[in-house]
Amino acid sequence: PNIVVCEDAQAASRKVAEIIIATIAEKPASVLGLATGSTPIRTYELLVDAFRDERVDFSQATSFNLDEYVGLAPKHPQSFRCFMDDHLFKHVNFSPMRTYVPDGSAADPAAHAKLYDDEIRMVGGVDCQLLGIGHNGHIGFNEPGSLPDSRTSVVDLAELTIRKNARFFDSADQVPRRAITMGIGTILESRHIVLLATGKSKAKVVAQAFEQSPSVDLPASWLQTHDHVTVVLDNDAATVE
């Protein structure tokens, strides 16, 4: 991968925002793959600023989010759909018809997941996929044990993921146990993958993901098999102590 180390989280977020802006400048009808979590929040703020400064226009773009909790309806405040509305969509000019997030309230989540993959294919695939990385090496909600050819599907969350994500809920037992996630195979079909990681707590897993041979134990390590990956780190995430 192309590894870009930035001074701090602000500079790393700016770098990722600029990659997305450049993607859309080159191809206004780009398909963006988007992520939730703490890591991309600053990037989304910078994209909102850029939109207000007329430096980016999402009117022809399409977005597909990586994942959603099974059991949370789009309107649920902890749903990833709500997260995306709050942090990005309601502040910029995506066509509402073209922002896709898996529907956690789908009657048949497995069928919905399969359809999601078909929809990505139907629009021609993802041009630029933004990823974060979990402390256990997950990408999307592809937990350790995930195969490199997995497709969008319903998965069980790892215990660690449930504990970490409890910070967004009142307590850990309110965190859904299952999610719909783009598969690793789905993610690897994106033309350009941009992984953003910031902070000391991510340093070890980032080093493992890109320095050890790809393995099911560390899902992000499959990114080594892709020929256009940009890893954007701040100094903290780039330094193993």
Among 140, 148, 176, 219, binds ligand F6R (CB under 6 A): 140
**28 close to 60: Cβ distance less than 8 angstroms:** yes
> Which residues between 8 and 47 bind ligand F6R (CB under 6 A)?
35-39
CA 33 centroid distance within chain: 7
Give the nearest distance from C-beta 39 to ligand F6R in angstroms: 3
Residues contacting ligand F6R: total by CB under 6 A: 14
Angle, to 10 degrees, between the axis of helix 80-87 and the axis of helix 41-52?
40
| Bridging pattern class, strands 192-197 and 62-65 | unpaired
- Supply 54's token pair: 């007329």
Place of tokens 């980032």: 206
Q: Is 66 in the site for ligand F6R (CB under 6 A)?
A: yes
Q: Tell me whether residue 41 or residue 57 sits nearer to ligand F6R (CB atom).
A: 41
Q: Please report, as a single letter, which amino acid is at residue 203.
A: A
Q: Tell me whether residue 37 or residue 148 sits nearer to ligand F6R (CB atom).
A: 37
Among 15, 87, 112, 138, binds ligand F6R (CB under 6 A): 138
Buried/exposed code over 46-59 (b: 16+ C-beta within 10 A; e: otherwise): bbbebbeeeebebe
Q: Tell me whether residue 66 or residue 154 sits nearer to ligand F6R (CB atom).
A: 66
Give the nearest distance from C-beta 132 to ligand F6R in angstroms: 2
Using CA atoms, how far apart are residues 71 and 218, in angstroms rounded to an integer?
27
Q: Tell me whether residue 134 or residue 176 sits nearer to ligand F6R (CB atom).
A: 134
* Site stretch for ligand F6R (CB under 6 A), options 93-101, 135-143, 207-215, 232-240: 135-143
Please identify every residue annotated as catalytic. Answer: 67, 136, 138, 143
For ligand F6R, what does the binding mask look like between residues 145 and 184, x meaning CB under 6 A? ----------------------------------------
Residue 231: CB atoms within 10 Å: 23
CA 166 centroid distance within chain: 19
**17 close to 201: Cβ distance less than 8 angstroms:** no
Give the nearest distance from C-beta 28 to ligand F6R in angstroms: 25
Q: Tell me whether residue 38 or residue 95 sits nearer to ligand F6R (CB atom).
A: 38
Longest dimension (CA), the chain: 47
Give the nearest distance from C-beta 61 to ligand F6R in angstroms: 18
Give the nearest distance from C-beta 122 to ligand F6R in angstroms: 22
**33 close to 187: Cβ distance less than 8 angstroms:** yes
Residues near ligand F6R, by CB under 6 A: 35-39, 66-67, 132-134, 138-141
